[in-house]
Structure 1
Amino acid sequence: MLTVQYARAYPNLRINVVDPGPTATDLNRFQGSQTVEQGAAPIVEAALTTRQGPSGTFVDGAAISPW
């Protein structure tokens, strides 16, 4: 809900939440099912969102999920 409130308060910014999913990293002893590159892809995509892109959304790996 905080993401949605920030998105409404700052309409000129794109404010979204991204959960990359189970990524194999040191933090989980490389037990994740995807590579670091795969996990980083949705984060990079969100960072490159233009002014016409979504705001106030939750992205779970590959797609926007409903709250």
Structure 2
Amino acid sequence: MGGKEATLSIPEGVEGIIWAATLADDGPSGGFFRFGKPIEW
């Protein structure tokens, strides 16, 4: 989750959180997303 082994910097890591937190009411829901794009689970 962090430290020297982290694959993303802090700014890179928060991009997805900010994206999800600021979605419009009619934005995508009910799925898994990475970097703002739907992913399989």
Which TM-score bucket, shorter chain as reference? Answer: 0.7 to 0.9
Q: Percentage identity across aligned positions?
A: 25
Query: Which one has more relative contact order, counting CA pairs under 8 Å at least 6 apart?
Result: 1
Alignment gaps of 5+ in structure 1: 1-26
In the alignment of these two chains, the number of paired residues is 40
- Detail structure 1 runs of 4+ shifted over 4 Å in the superposition: none
Partner of 2:12: 38
Deviation for aligned residue 1:29: 2.4
Alignment gaps of 5+ in structure 2: none
Cα distance in 2 for partners of 1:28, 1:41 equals: 16
Instruction: Determine whether 1:29 maps to 2:14.
Output: no
TM-score (norm 2): 0.73
